[in-house]
């Protein structure tokens, strides 16, 4: 399914006329002709209303091939060729819908052939075919995609080359003066779009003003608050009459942030970086809008031209006579250096008020540039606060950074206020500020509607039978679908809403605690004797009939608690309610006029669930307040309760309910999807990669559903384990609980039981490959550091993920370092990433941490002889290793591979050795065929092949299958090279180790972190 805009179909019916008025200005071209674009984003000479200049056939062929070669060789600013996608027409077998949308397909090879055989009478006909080809690409592909942008840039390049060959007709057009608003908006957009080295938009904290309710101190210190969204709105309304007004508002944002936040904090540094960039951009403003205070901030290029030597016109004879004394030539006076323009400062009304402290100059500036200062007021500014030794944490809520920094609801550009300074002496006390009346509190937000968030839905398009699964984990809130000719019906089924039991349970428990506290306060403080003393009993006595108000209050409380339950589900298409054919299934015959945008109008609603149960709630409230104790008729007139609707399946504790009960459609949640970087960024919108991904997913042998089901089981088991594991538990009980939960969720047996490898429960200095054998008596202690490594597989696709638990804060920094290193590896991993380079990123992150134990500081060391690994089907170690120390390994990650990004940190040597009793084993994938003489070894190998295949297993699994006295046979298989043993891997005794791990899938279009969960 390809997302396209709703106006794409309407655009195809328009005639081919000049498209300048239809091209947006939001995209700043990165093509080779980016320098020729003006500030308003337009391009010269684009359109089809050009004169057809008569030209000889040879000249048409020569100039046409020149334009064609210019397009073929065009590259963008990263050096990527933009023409390969336009070389040939798409294959009908792979893209059948392309030929339904595009009526006149054409490609570069077609244009070249027509040029060579002389099919174009004029050069304008050649240009029109180029325009047709690029218009086709822009119509079919999603707007702002890689192909769409390449088509736009190449068309501008064609017009530029054409304009150099064909002179403009008649007199030249009058040059239009550049628009001030567009120039200012383009510069502000570049500042807002500035990112740091990690891709974070540093302007996100400056988009909105801080909340007055949460940050009253900000508005006491900052007299003129300002934010980017306000400036964008003023630009949209064209409220700026000059560039100076615009620059003053933008500079005010930076000066406010640098005044309120401590120096060298993240917000302060972000404001400084954007201020420097803004001043450089403003230095390029053309006259008459240029500002003198920014003229010295841009980069300077000095050119010293050499004086040309005058040559005599005719040959002459020159006599050189030595002078008696050197002539005295007065030295030229040095030219005066340009002085920066004085900043414009408004004199404050009150002479006693001190001048506001100016913002510090930029760190990397050749000459200090003046800053446009805010207008001072009569109120003196707050005294400067002393700098704090540590950065103050941000008070903002941790929200996901939006794709575009200019969207709404972005957190404010403030940090937590610094601690109050000690009271100064009386001599240094500033005059108290005037009392400012507190503004009234903002109105409360509107109540939420009685709707539930949609989790997933199955959409079937008839009569072709196309099936599309929409899921909330894809990060999309609206889907658009192209209705092909003949498709007139939409069938919706398998509607699943986000479960509320987790959140509701916490909220309900909080409400119950608040109710108990209120009752207790009423009992202890609400009843006073006539003489003013409190009554002896803490609980008030309740006699007689309760008041109507209390009964109504209890009824409303019950209704509010039950309103979160989803009631009857309604489907609306274009405002009309569609009746369900069966329970949970809707079938809608769409009209031809509405079929194109029907999916955009689909709306699933859940009416208030409490409406149907109001009577039941009232009865329950009456019983709770004792309404039936004093009125006998109430019991007789009591209405019969309606049967409650059955709720969906709920997971048990510990988890033992299979996943198929929760996902009857067989489609499991998608992991976290991340775009590739740099040269692989095109994969996100590449139609070829999307098609390849769809074919891979539909193939039962390579489907992504297996790894996603394994990841879902892994998340449930590990999240329960994190809450359940406590000191004092036996290691055997912990391992059995985790593995029993895996078997129950996957619902398999034998090779399909779901256990990818034995649960690793390595303690303290032991880093990996420990799981308890039969008779193990080790008990988890409070001071232990426990590594929990869990593997779950479905049809051989293994989800490998690990975490570390500690129960004392001593080694929190060690765990934090290893977790951060894993996240670095996951972030940097991708197609074409060299494994040696990736290891360097992991090492750099981990070695930046230290651990203090008993007053002694230990550096966190990556364990150099442990590594992550690729994962193959039924093979946990796929052959490629992701080290933890930088190396020269040129091996690259490739498309379609699975990797376990696994990091280990230690406070010891940073190197492990094999130590302890072995528990992990696995049959080798390339095991040789060796004749076995021991009958017990043959029998044991038969059991291994049937139950485990090439997956790792442990001795407890053999005990579970009823095997006994197998140690001799097992050692024989190891000695013959058929089975590989994996002893525990340990650092030096007394050190501590930690481990974190994620499984990633390198899909053709994106990187999917399949094991990602809310826990880590």
Q: Which residues are within 8 A (CB) of 89 and not within 5 positions of it... i.e. 6 or more apart?
A: 105, 106, 107, 110
- CA–CA distance, 70 with 149 (Å, rounded to integer): 17
Res 385: pLDDT: 41
What tens digit of pLDDT does each residue of 72-115 get?
Answer: 999 888 778 899 899 999 988 888 888 888 989 999 999 999 99
- CA–CA distance, 350 with 379 (Å, rounded to integer): 9
Q: pLDDT band at 136, cuts 50/70/90?
A: very high
Q: Is 800 annotated as a binding residue?
A: yes
Res 642: pLDDT: 58
Residue 343 has pLDDT above 50, yes or no: no
Distances (CA, A) of 789 to 770, 800, 802, 900, 994: 10, 8, 4, 12, 11
The lowest-confidence range among 22-26, 514-518, 647-651 is 22-26
H helix or E strand, kind and range, residue 163: helix 146-165
> Which positions are annotated as active-site residues?
789, 800, 869, 877, 902, 997
Res 362: pLDDT: 40
Res 452: pLDDT: 56
| Torsion angle of C-alpha atoms 567, 568, 572, 575, degrees rounded to 10 | -80
What tens digit of pLDDT does each residue of 917-931 get?
Answer: 899 999 998 888 888
Res 291: pLDDT: 87
User: 401-427 burial by CB neighbour count: b if 16+ within 10 A, else e?
Assistant: eeeebbeeebbbbbbebbeeeeeeeee
> Per the omega criterion (within 30 degrees of 0), is the bond before 654 cis?
yes
Q: Is 714 annotated as a binding residue?
A: no
Q: pLDDT band at 458, cuts 50/70/90?
A: confident
User: 184-195 burial by CB neighbour count: b if 16+ within 10 A, else e?
Assistant: bbbbbbebbebe
The lowest-confidence range among 300-304, 523-527, 574-578, 726-730 is 523-527
Are 788 and 805 a contacting pair, CB within 8 Å? Answer: yes
Average pLDDT over residues 361-374: 39
Q: Higher-confidence residue: 316 or 268?
A: 268
The DSSP output letter for 646 is P
Q: Higher-confidence residue: 231 or 554?
A: 231
Helix (H, G, I), strand (E, B) or coil at 570: strand
Q: pLDDT band at 748, cuts 50/70/90?
A: confident
Are 252 and 206 a contacting pair, CB within 8 Å? Answer: no
The lowest-confidence range among 467-471, 714-718, 784-788, 851-855 is 467-471
Q: What are phi and psi of 937, to 5 degrees?
A: -70, -40
Residue 585 has pLDDT above 90, yes or no: no
Q: pLDDT band at 588, cuts 50/70/90?
A: low
H helix or E strand, kind and range, residue 801: strand 797-806
- CA–CA distance, 438 with 13 (Å, rounded to integer): 59
Q: Is 749 annotated as a binding residue?
A: no
- CA–CA distance, 934 with 53 (Å, rounded to integer): 93
Res 750: pLDDT: 82
Q: Which two tokens stand for residue 356?
A: 């506001």
Res 444: pLDDT: 53
Q: pLDDT band at 457, cuts 50/70/90?
A: confident
Which of 205, 207, 192, 211 lies closest to 266 in space, CA to CA?
205
Which of 534, 565, 1015, 961 lies closest to 805 in space, CA to CA?
1015
Res 177: pLDDT: 67
The DSSP output letter for 37 is -
Residue 780 has pLDDT above 50, yes or no: yes
What tens digit of pLDDT does each residue of 663-710 get?
Answer: 999 899 999 999 998 899 999 999 999 999 999 999 988 999 999 999
Determine what percent of the chain is predicted with pLDDT higher than 90: 41
Are 256 and 224 a contacting pair, CB within 8 Å? Answer: yes
Q: Is 196 annotated as a binding residue?
A: no
Res 11: pLDDT: 39
Res 308: pLDDT: 43
Q: How many CB atoms lie within 10 A of CB 350?
A: 12
Are 585 and 493 a contacting pair, CB within 8 Å? Answer: yes
Most confident of 68-82, 145-159, 342-356, 468-482: 145-159
Are 1010 and 794 a contacting pair, CB within 8 Å? Answer: no
| Torsion angle of C-alpha atoms 546, 552, 554, 557, degrees rounded to 10 | -170
Are 385 and 421 a contacting pair, CB within 8 Å? Answer: yes
Most confident of 221-225, 414-418, 477-481: 221-225
What tens digit of pLDDT does each residue of 211-240 get?
Answer: 888 888 899 899 999 999 999 999 988 899
Q: Higher-confidence residue: 363 or 885?
A: 885
Q: Is 289 annotated as a binding residue?
A: no
Most confident of 35-44, 213-222, 247-256, 607-616: 247-256
Looking at every residue in the chain, the average pLDDT score rounds to 74
Helix (H, G, I), strand (E, B) or coil at 858: strand
Distances (CA, A) of 79 to 32, 84, 134, 1003: 9, 13, 20, 25
Structural domains of the chain, with CATH: 8-165 (1.20.920.10), 178-295 (1.20.920.10), 449-502+553-622 (no CATH), 704-913+985-1009 (3.90.230.10), 918-982 (1.10.10.10)
Are 194 and 276 a contacting pair, CB within 8 Å? Answer: no
What residues form DSSP beta bridges with 310? none
Most confident of 182-186, 484-488, 793-797: 793-797
Res 285: pLDDT: 85
- CA–CA distance, 4 with 7 (Å, rounded to integer): 8
> What is the 3-class SS of 920-970, one letter each residue?
EEEECCCCCCCCCCCHHHHHHHHHHHHHCCCCCEEHHHHHHCCCCCCHHHH
Q: Which two tokens stand for residue 574?
A: 């274009």
Burial zone of 624 (CB within 10 Å; 0-12 exposed, 13-18 middle, 19+ buried)? middle
Res 130: pLDDT: 93
Q: How many CB atoms lie within 10 A of CB 352?
A: 8
Average pLDDT over residues 876-883: 93
Determine what percent of the chain is predicted with pLDDT higher than 70: 62
What tens digit of pLDDT does each residue of 253-274 get?
Answer: 999 999 999 888 999 999 999 9
Are 905 and 886 a contacting pair, CB within 8 Å? Answer: no
Sheet containing 454-462, strands listed edge to edge, beginning at the edge strand earlier in sequence: 466-471, 454-462, 489-497, 585-589, 580-582
Are 157 and 33 a contacting pair, CB within 8 Å? Answer: yes
- CA–CA distance, 487 with 490 (Å, rounded to integer): 8
């Amino acid at each position: 399914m390809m997302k396209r805009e709703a106006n794409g179909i309407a655009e195809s019916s328009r005639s081919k006329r000049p498209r300048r008025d239809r091209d947006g200005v939001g995209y700043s071209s990165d093509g080779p002709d980016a320098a020729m674009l003006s500030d308003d984003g337009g391009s010269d000479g684009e359109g089809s209303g050009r004169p057809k200049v008569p030209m000889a056939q040879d000249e048409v062929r020569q100039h046409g091939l020149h334009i064609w070669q210019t397009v073929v060789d065009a590259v963008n600013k990263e050096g990527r060729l933009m023409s390969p996608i336009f070389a040939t027409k798409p294959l009908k077998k792979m893209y059948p819908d392309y030929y339904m949308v595009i009526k006149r397909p054409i490609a570069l090879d077609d244009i070249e052939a027509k040029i060579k055989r002389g099919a174009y009478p004029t050069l304008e006909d050649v240009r029109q075919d180029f325009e047709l080809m690029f218009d086709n690409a822009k119509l079919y592909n999603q707007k702002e995609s890689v192909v769409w942008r390449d088509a736009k840039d190449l068309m501008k390049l064609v017009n530029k080359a054409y304009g150099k060959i064909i002179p403009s007709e008649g007199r030249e057009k009058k040059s239009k003066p550049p628009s001030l608003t567009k120039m200012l908006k383009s510069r502000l957009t570049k500042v807002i779009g500035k990112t740091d080295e990690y891709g974070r938009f540093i302007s996100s904290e400056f988009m909105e003003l801080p909340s007055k309710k949460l940050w009253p101190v900000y508005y006491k210190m900052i007299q003129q608050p300002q934010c980017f969204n306000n400036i964008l709105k003023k630009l949209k309304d064209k409220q700026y009459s000059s560039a100076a007004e615009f620059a003053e508002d933008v500079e005010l944002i930076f000066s406010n942030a640098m005044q309120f936040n401590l120096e060298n904090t993240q917000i302060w540094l972000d404001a400084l970086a954007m201020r420097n960039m803004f001043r450089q951009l403003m230095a390029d403003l053309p006259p008459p809008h240029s500002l003198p205070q920014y003229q010295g901030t841009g980069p300077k290029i000095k050119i010293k031209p050499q004086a040309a030597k005058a040559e005599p016109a005719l040959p002459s004879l020159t006599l050189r006579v030595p002078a008696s004394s050197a002539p005295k030539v007065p030295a030229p006076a040095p030219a005066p250096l340009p002085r920066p323009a004085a900043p414009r400062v408004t004199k404050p009304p009150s002479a006693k008020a001190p001048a506001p402290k100016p913002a510090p100059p930029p760190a990397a500036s050749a000459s200090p540039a003046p800053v446009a200062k805010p207008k001072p007021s009569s109120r003196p500014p707050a005294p400067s606060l002393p700098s704090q030794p540590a950065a103050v944490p941000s008070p903002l809520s941790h929200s996901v950074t939006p794709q575009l920094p200019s969207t709404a609801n972005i957190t404010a550009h403030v940090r937590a206020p610094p601690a109050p300074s000690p009271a100064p002496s009386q001599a240094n006390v500033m005059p108290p500020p005037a009392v400012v009346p507190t503004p009234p509190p903002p109105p409360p937000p509107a109540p939420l509607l009685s709707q539930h968030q949609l989790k997933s839905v199955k959409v079937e398009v008839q009569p072709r039978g196309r099936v599309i699964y929409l899921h909330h984990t894809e990060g999309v809130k609206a889907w658009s679908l192209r209705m092909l000719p003949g498709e007139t019906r939409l069938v919706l089924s398998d509607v699943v809403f986000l479960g509320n039991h987790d959140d509701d349970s916490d909220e309900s428990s909080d409400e119950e605690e608040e109710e108990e506290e209120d009752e207790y306060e009423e009992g202890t403080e609400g009843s006073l004797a006539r003489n003013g003393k409190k009554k002896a009993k803490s609980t008030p006595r309740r006699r007689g009939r309760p008041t109507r108000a209390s009964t109504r209050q209890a009824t409303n409380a019950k209704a509010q608690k039950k309103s979160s339950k989803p009631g009857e589900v309604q489907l609306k298409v274009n405002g009309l309610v569609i009746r369900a054919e069966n329970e949970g299934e809707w079938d809608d015959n769409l009209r031809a006029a509405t079929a194109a945008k029907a999916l955009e109008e689909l709306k699933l609603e859940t009416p208030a669930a409490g409406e149907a149960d109001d009577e039941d709630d009232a009865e329950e409230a009456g019983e709770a307040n004792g309404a039936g104790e004093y009125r006998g008729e109430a019991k007789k007139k009591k209405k019969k309760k309606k049967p409650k609707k059955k709720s969906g399946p709920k997971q048990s504790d510990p988890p033992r309910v299979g996943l198929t009960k929760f996902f009857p459609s067989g489609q499991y949640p998608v992991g976290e999807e991340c775009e590739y970087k740099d040269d692989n960024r095109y994969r996100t919108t590449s139609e070829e990669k999307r098609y390849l991904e769809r074919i891979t997913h539909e193939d039962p042998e390579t489907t992504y559903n297996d790894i996603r089901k394994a990841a879902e089981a892994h998340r449930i088991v590990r999240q329960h384990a994190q809450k359940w594991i406590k000191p004092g538990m036996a290691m055997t009980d912990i391992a059995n609980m985790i593995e029993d939960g895996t078997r129950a969720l996957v619902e398999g047996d034998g090779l399909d039981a779901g256990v990818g490898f034995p649960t690793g429960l390595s303690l303290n200095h032991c880093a990996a490959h420990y799981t308890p054998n039969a008779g193990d008596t080790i008990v988890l202690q409070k001071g232990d550091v426990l590594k929990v490594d869990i593997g779950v597989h479905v049809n051989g696709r293994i989800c490998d993920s690990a975490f570390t638990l500690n129960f004392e804060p001593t080694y929190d920094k060690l765990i934090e370092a290893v977790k951060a290193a894993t996240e670095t590896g996951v972030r940097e991993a991708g197609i074409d990433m060299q494994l040696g380079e990736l290891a360097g990123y992991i090492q750099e992150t981990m070695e930046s941490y230290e651990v203090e134990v008993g007053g002694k500081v230990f550096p966190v060391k990556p364990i150099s002889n442990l590594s992550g690994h690729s994962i193959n089907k039924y093979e946990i170690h796929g052959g490629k290793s992701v080290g933890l120390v930088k190396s020269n390994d040129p091996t690259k990650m490739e498309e379609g591979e699975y990797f376990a990004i696994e990091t280990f940190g230690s406070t010891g040597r940073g190197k492990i050795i094999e130590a302890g009793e072995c528990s992990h084993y696995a049959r080798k994938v390339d095991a040789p065929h060796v004749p076995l003489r021991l009958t017990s070894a043959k029998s044991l190998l038969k059991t291994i092949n049937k139950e485990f295949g090439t997956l790792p297993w442990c001795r407890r699994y053999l005990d579970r299958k009823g095997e006994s006295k197998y140690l001799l046979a097992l050692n024989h298989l190891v000695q013959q090279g058929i089975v590989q043993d994996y002893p525990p891997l340990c650092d030096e005794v007394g050190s501590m180790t930690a481990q974190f791990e994620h499984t990633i899938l390198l899909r053709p279009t994106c990187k999917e972190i399949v094991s990602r969960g809310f826990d880590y």
